Amino acid sequence: MSRFKTFPKGGIHPTDYKEATCNKEVQNASLTSTAIIPLSQHIGAPSECLVQKGDLVEEEQIIGKSGGFVSANIHSPVPGEVLEIKKIFLPNGMAVDAVVIEVKGEFKRLGKDADLRDWSGMSNEEISAKIAEMGIVGQGGATFPTHVKLSLPKGKSCETFIINAVECEPYLTSDHRIMLEKGSEVLEGIQIMQRLLSPLKTVIGIEANKMDAVELLQSLITEKGLDIEVMPLEVKYPQGAEKNLIKAITGREVPSGKLPLEVGVINANVGTCLSVYEALVLDKPVIERVVTVSGGAIKNPSNLKARIGTSFRSLIDDCGGFSEEPVKIIAGGPMMGFAVYDLDTPVTKGTSGILALTSKEIKAAKPTPCLSCGRCVSSCPMGLNPTKIFKYIDFNMTEEALEAGLMDCVECGSCSYMCPAHIPLVQGFRGGKKIIRKKSMKKAGQ
Amino acid sequence: MKDKLLVTSSPQFHHPQSTASIMWTVSLCLLPAGVWGIYIFGMRALLVTLTAIVASVGTEALLGLINKDKTIFDGSAFLTGLLIGYNMPPAVPLYVIVFASVFAITVAKWTFGGLGANWMNPALAGRVFVFFSWTSGMTRWTLPHPGSADVITGPTPLGSIKSGLMTMADTITGPMDLLAAEGVPVSYMDLFLGRIPGSIGEVSALLLILGGLFLLIRKIANWEIVASYLGSFVLLVWVFGGFRYGQGLFSGDVLFQLFSGGLMLGVFFMATDMVTSPLTSKGMLVYGVGCGFMTYLLRFFGSVPEGVSLAIIFMNIFVPLINRAFQPDKFGKLIEEEAK
Ligand code: SF4
Ligand code: SF4
C-alpha cells in the first residue's frame, strides 16, 4: 500500500524504463534543413493553409490558420522557402496536408536575450486571444486546442484546476524534465490559466516516481506564495488518463460520455503550461517541444528540444543512432503511442516521445484463445469487461458491445498489455467503435 | 528497414507472461511434488506420470493435425497430462491413464472448442471419468517405500477413516486416534511431508504449498480463490468436523483434513485454473467458498473418501452463472447512482 492517493479501480504497473532519460538535461536537437509541418496537429478541424509553393516564410509566421472553433493556428518553426505542399500520413494513420519548408534565412531568437512581457495588465479576453493565436494545444497526447478548453461555457465554473504532471507512460520523461528545468516558468503558466478560470483549488498531480519534481515545485510555490497544491500520487498506469486523474485527486467520477467540467474540473498538461508561459511572456508560438527519444535500440537515449517538423530520423541521429536493429518505432509512449514505419515522420505538437524498441522489450507472442484469466477485467481502469466486449465485437453484436460499455473504453491498453493470450483487445475496440460510429452516421443520414 | 518494422495497434509492448509461459510455469511449480511422489512410491510413479503426459500431448497433437493448428507448444496439454498423472494412484493400470488422458483432451477440452473454451478442468474430468469407470484400479494405493522395491498396498488416511467410522469404538475422539486404532497410525508430520499413501502428486502438502506460493506471487494463481477455498473449508471442518467423533462444535481436526488427500493440489493447481474459474475478484471469492463448502460436504457425507475433484468440477459448472452475477462496476456508476 502506498501512502499516496490513486484511482481505485484497475490499473497496471508496467516496467517504466524511465531511468534511461530521467536524469538527462534537455538538449537542443540539431536544426533540420527541411521541416515537414502537418496542417493538422490537433483534435478538430485541420488548419487552413496560408502559403503556397515558392513562398518565403519567416520563423514563427502563421502558415496554417485555425480552421474552425475547435482548431488551432500553426506557425512555421523555421525561416525558409515553401518547397511543396504534400499529403503525408501521420502516425495515427490519418492522411493530412503538410507544408514542406527548406530552411533559409535568419532565425529570430537564436543567441538573443529574451524580452519578457508582463501579462498582469492584460484582460482575460486578451490572454485568451493570445493563447489561441499562439496555437497552443494539449501536449499530453490528446492535442485538444487549449483556448477552447479554457473558455468556460456560460453557467459552468471550474472548481478544481488540475495540472497533469503524471506522465504515466513508460519511457517518457519530457514532462519530468520540464518541471525540473523550467519549474518557475511552468508555475507562471499555471498562474496565467488560474486568472482565466478562477478555480477554487489548483492541484498539480505528480506520480511519486518524480519526487524531485514534487519537492522542487513545492519549494518554488512556498517561496512565491502561490495558491497551488502539489499532490504526489501512487505510481500506477493510466493515472494520466483524464478521468482517472480526476478520480485520484478529487474522488469524483466523470459520468460516461461527459466532460470533466461535469464535476467542475479543467485539466492541463505540464508542457501546455510551459507553452502558455512562452506565449504570454515571451510572445512565442508553439514551434518546438521537448521529445523523449528512448528505447532499447537507441544508442544514447535523451530528451531533445526539437522544432516541429523535424524528422524522427534526425532526432534519432542526434541520439547516436541505433545500437541495434529496432523492431518497432513508436510515436508517443508504448501504451498508447502509434507504431510508425517511416522515419521521415515529423515531430508534431503532440509528439511526446520517439521510441525504438527491441524484440526483447516488446515481448510479442502469437495470440491464443482467451483463457478467461480475468486479468483484462481486473486491470481495466474504466471497470469494463474487455474479454466480453471483445467477443461481442467479434460476433458482430454491436448493440451488446455498446450496452457493455464499449464507448467508455479510453483505449489505455491496460487490458491488452496484461492479456496472457496476447489478444489484440484494444485494436478490436477501435474497430468496434468505428463500426458503431458508421452505423449511427447512417442512421442520422436517413 | 521500412518493411522490417512492425506496425501494430497500441499497446506497443506487453507484460512478460504469455499463455505458454503461464502453462510452463505452473508445470514447473508442480515438479517438486512429483519428484517426491516418485521418491516415496518408486519408479512406477514416474512411469504413470510419463504415460499421462505422453498420452495427453499425443492426443493434442493428433487433434491438432485434424484442425491444422499446432497447439502442443502452449504447454496446456503437457500440464493436463502432468495433473492427470499426479491424480493417479501409483499402481493404477497404464491403460486407465491413457483413457483418462484421451478423455480429458478429446471430450473435456476439444469438443468444447479447445483451450479456453472448456468449462471444466480437463485433468479433473479425466480423473473423475476413470474413477467411476475403473474404481478398483483407481483405489489401489501403494504404501510409501522410499528406496525399496517391495510394493505393498494399503488404504489412504482418508479412506481408512471412511471405513473405520463404521466400526468406531467410543474412545475415539478424532481422525488421528481412529487411524491408530485401525492399525495405520500417522503423525501430522507424515501428512504434511507426504509419507502417506495417496495419488502420486498429491501427498506432499509441503511441496505443493511452496509451488502454490510461487504461483500466487507471480499472480498466476489468484489469492481470492486460494484464500476463500481454504478459509471456508477450514472454518467448516473446525466448527462441525468434530461431530462425527461424538465431539461438540469447534473441535474438528483441521490439520488432518488440510494435509490429507488432494486438497493442496486441488486448491493451488486445479481450482485456480484460469479457464474454469470466474473472471472478477468477487466471483472468485464466491467460487472459492463454494469449492470449500462442497469439499467439506463430500468428504464428510459423501460415499467416497475424497471430495476435492468433484467439488471443483461441481463449482466449474456454476462459473458462467457467477460471471454473469458478478460483473465489474463500471466507472462513473457512482455518480449516476448519486444522481438518481
Ligand atoms: S483499453 Fe479500454 S477496455 Fe482496455 S483497459 Fe483500457 S479502458 Fe479498459
Ligand atoms: S486477459 Fe486475455 S486471456 Fe485473460 S480474460 Fe482477458 S482476454 Fe481472456
Q: Looking at residue B302, what is its pLDDT?
A: 86
A417·B13 Cβ contact <8 A: yes
Which residue's CA is minimally distant from atom 6 of ligand 2?
A376
Contacts A335 to B, Cβ<8 Å: 10-12
Q: Which of A31-40, A138-147, B55-64 shows the lowest mean pLDDT across its residues?
A: A138-147
- The minimum-distance atom of ligand 1 relative to the CA of A426 is 1
Note whether A278 and A380 are same-domain residues.
no
- For B215, the domain range is 166-325
Note whether B89 and B178 are same-domain residues.
no
Do the domain assignments include residue B336? Answer: no
B11·A335 Cβ contact <8 A: yes
Domain of A190, CATH number, reads 3.40.50.11540
Note whether B106 and B205 are same-domain residues.
no
Do the domain assignments include residue A333? Answer: no
Q: Looking at residue B340, what is its pLDDT?
A: 43
Note whether A267 and A406 are same-domain residues.
no
Note whether B199 and B282 are same-domain residues.
yes
Q: Looking at residue A1, what is its pLDDT?
A: 46
ipTM: 0.90
Note whether B211 and B318 are same-domain residues.
yes
Ligand nearest the Cα of residue A335 is 1
Best CA proximity match to A419, nearest among A431, A429, A404: A429
Note whether B117 and B182 are same-domain residues.
no
- Average pLDDT (B281-301) is 96
Contacts B274 to A, Cβ<8 Å: 371-374
Q: How far apart are CA B319 and CA B325, in angstroms?
A: 10
Which residues, judged by CB distance below 6 Å to any ligand atom, belong to the binding site of ligand 2?
A 370-376, 386-387, 418-421, 423
- The residue among B15, B120, B333 with the most chain A CBs within 10 A of its CB, best to mutate, is B15
Hey, which residues does A65 pair with through a beta bridge? Answer: A48
Pocket test for ligand 2, best of A12, A366, A370 (most atoms within 8 A of CB): A370
- The minimum-distance atom of ligand 1 relative to the CA of A389 is 3
Spell out the residues 6+ positions from residue B72 whose beta carbon is closer than 8 angstroms to its own.
Answer: B57, B60, B61, B64, B78
- Whether pLDDT at A311 is above 50: yes
Confidence at A446, pLDDT banded by 50, 70, 90 = low
Note whether A245 and A389 are same-domain residues.
no
Do the domain assignments include residue B290? Answer: yes
Note whether A160 and A278 are same-domain residues.
yes
pLDDT tens digits along A227-252:
999 999 999 999 999 999 999 999 99
Q: Looking at residue A445, what is its pLDDT?
A: 66
Q: Which of A319-328, B152-161, B219-228 shows the lowest mean pLDDT across its residues?
A: B152-161
Looking at residue A227, the DSSP 8-state letter turns out to be S
How many domains are contained in chain A? Answer: 2
Q: Looking at residue B290, what is its pLDDT?
A: 97
- Average pLDDT (A440-445) is 76
- Ligand 1 contact, A336 CB (< 6 A): no
Confidence at B295, pLDDT banded by 50, 70, 90 = very high
Does the pTM exceed 0.90? yes
From the list A335, A339, A369, the residue facing B8 with the nearest CB is A339
- Whether pLDDT at A226 is above 70: yes
Do the domain assignments include residue A398? Answer: yes
* DSSP states of A355-412: EEE-HHHH------------HHHHH-TT---HHHHHHHHHTT-HHHHHHTTGGG----
Q: Which of A235, A261, A282 is the last residue before a domain boundary?
A: A282
**A426 Cα–ligand 1 center, Å:** 7
Do the domain assignments include residue A213? Answer: yes
Q: Looking at residue B178, what is its pLDDT?
A: 87
Q: Which of B139, B174, B193 is the last residue before a domain boundary?
A: B139
**B33 and A358 in contact (C-beta within 8 Å)?**
no
Note whether B312 and B186 are same-domain residues.
yes
Do the domain assignments include residue B86? Answer: yes
Note whether B130 and B185 are same-domain residues.
no
Q: How far apart are CA B179 and CA B163, in angstroms?
A: 10
Phi, psi of A5 (to 5 degrees): -75, 160
Q: Which of A233, A251, A282 is the last residue before a domain boundary?
A: A282
Q: What percent of chain A has pLDDT over 70?
A: 99
Do the domain assignments include residue B147? Answer: no
Q: Looking at residue B163, what is its pLDDT?
A: 81
Note whether B134 and B233 are same-domain residues.
no
Note whether B310 and B187 are same-domain residues.
yes
How many domains are contained in chain B? Answer: 2
- Ligand 1 contact, A384 CB (< 6 A): yes
Do the domain assignments include residue B330? Answer: no
Judged on CB neighbours under 10 Å (0-12, 13-18, 19+), A13 is exposed
Q: Which of B139, B158, B185 is the last residue before a domain boundary?
A: B139
Q: Which of A215, A249, A282 is the last residue before a domain boundary?
A: A282
Do the domain assignments include residue A117? Answer: no
Q: Which of A11-25, A356-370, B176-190 shows the lowest mean pLDDT across its residues?
A: B176-190
Kind and range of the H or E run holding B99: helix B94-102
From the list B10, B222, B331, the residue facing A253 with the nearest CB is B331
pLDDT tens digits along A382-441:
999 999 999 999 999 999 999 999 999 999 999 999 999 999 999 999 999 999 888 888
Average pLDDT, chain B: 90
Confidence at B114, pLDDT banded by 50, 70, 90 = confident
Q: How far apart are CA A374 and CA B221, in angstroms?
A: 11
**B49 and B85 in contact (C-beta within 8 Å)?**
yes
Residue with cell 521510441: A355
Q: What percent of chain B has pLDDT over 70?
A: 97
**B234 and B259 in contact (C-beta within 8 Å)?**
no
Note whether B204 and B244 are same-domain residues.
yes
Do the domain assignments include residue A25? Answer: no
Confidence at B338, pLDDT banded by 50, 70, 90 = low
pLDDT tens digits along A317-339:
999 999 999 999 999 999 999 99
Note whether B266 and B318 are same-domain residues.
yes
Do the domain assignments include residue A419? Answer: yes
Average pLDDT, chain A: 92
Note whether B134 and B270 are same-domain residues.
no
Pocket test for ligand 2, best of A387, A392, A417, A425 (most atoms within 8 A of CB): A387
Confidence at A55, pLDDT banded by 50, 70, 90 = very high
- Average pLDDT (B251-267) is 93
Do the domain assignments include residue A162? Answer: yes
- Ligand 1 contact, A401 CB (< 6 A): no
Note whether A271 and A383 are same-domain residues.
no
Do the domain assignments include residue A243? Answer: yes
- For A408, the domain range is 375-445
Q: Looking at residue B3, what is its pLDDT?
A: 59
Note whether A270 and A146 are same-domain residues.
yes
Do the domain assignments include residue B5? Answer: no
From the list A247, A368, A385, the residue facing B279 with the nearest CB is A385
- Whether pLDDT at B181 is above 90: no
Do the domain assignments include residue B99? Answer: yes
Contacts A363 to B, Cβ<8 Å: 13-16, 18
- Average pLDDT (A304-319) is 96
For residue B65, which amino acid is it? L
Note whether A269 and A397 are same-domain residues.
no
- Whether pLDDT at B2 is above 70: no
- The residue among B1, B12, B112, B335 with the most chain A CBs within 10 A of its CB, best to mutate, is B12
Q: Looking at residue B188, what is its pLDDT?
A: 93
Do the domain assignments include residue B150? Answer: no
Spell out the residues 6+ positions from residue B86 whose beta carbon is closer than 8 angstroms to its own.
Answer: B30, B33, B34, B37, B49, B199, B200, B201, B202, B265
- Average pLDDT (A88-102) is 91
Contacts B328 to A, Cβ<8 Å: 9, 377, 380, 383-385
Q: Which of B68 and A199 is assigned the larger pLDDT? A: A199
A326·B332 Cβ contact <8 A: no
Phi, psi of A106 (to 5 degrees): -105, 140
B2·A372 Cβ contact <8 A: no
